[in-house]
Amino acid sequence: MNRPLFVSLDGPKGVGKTTLLEAVTQSLRADNKKVIRLSESKSDPHRGETMALVNQLVRQPDRDLEWEVCKRLAASRSWISRYVLPRQPPDSIILIDRWYPSDAAFRRLVPFAEILQLNLDQAVRVPDLHVGVVTAAAISWARATSRRRGLSSTVIHELEEHAVCTDAFERAVLDNGWVLCRNEGLLADATLQVVSAIYKVL
């Protein structure tokens, strides 16, 4: 590879994405692959200011305010694309925890097609592989609410909201031809699916 392979894993809350990321990392490293793990939120230099707007949006839903959130997130991803991704070793596989596909789940007022175009217009790097991790809403809700930290979501507080989020995200995965990973069974099965998809694009 002339540059790192860039793979994003996205999905609604509670789908087991973080656990899957760890399992995929271990599998690739066991095969002597150099894996770099990144998190969009931890790499974003302006996440605090953006989340303040998200909190405001939760209190008072407004399309213009949600569009401002989308613009700020896209600008941060553009910054990561310019200053973080190019610094990674060229022979590595970058696994990032969330990228613009996650907006399909969490943004409610702006159509995802507009959000996607916004990110492309801001020169946000397109992953070499998009993986959308999903479960039935009832399963991910039960998983998330059983954790000590709970759902840990700023924008979703009820199962009905979570179901809408899940349906919207799965539609976006199918509409855009991303890899759909249904993580409802054995972790080993989901891990094998993702690792196999990565090897297909290496």
Q: Which residue range(s) make up the domain with 167?
A: 5-201
When pLDDT is cut at 50, 70 and 90, the band that residue 87 belongs to is very high
CB neighbours (10 Å) of residue 71?
16
- If one counts the domains in the chain, the total is 1
Q: What is the mean pLDDT of residues 55-59?
A: 88
Please state the pTM of the whole predicted model.
Answer: 0.92
d(CA 41, CA 24): 20
Average per-residue pLDDT for the chain: 94
Question: What residues form DSSP beta bridges with 179?
Answer: 131
Helix (H, G, I), strand (E, B), or coil: what is residue 7? strand
Find, among 102, 99, 53, the residue nearest to 78 by Cα.
99
Question: What residues form DSSP beta bridges with 134?
Answer: 182
The two most distant CA atoms of the chain are separated, in Å, by 49
Q: What is the mean pLDDT of residues 15-27?
A: 96
Q: pLDDT tens across 144-173, in order?
A: 888 776 566 667 778 888 999 999 999 999
Find, among 25, 156, 182, 166, the residue nearest to 102 by Cα.
166
CATH no. for residue 106?
3.40.50.300
d(CA 125, CA 150): 32
What would the two tokens of residue 3 be? 């540059």
Residue pair 104/168 in contact by the 8 Å Cβ criterion = yes
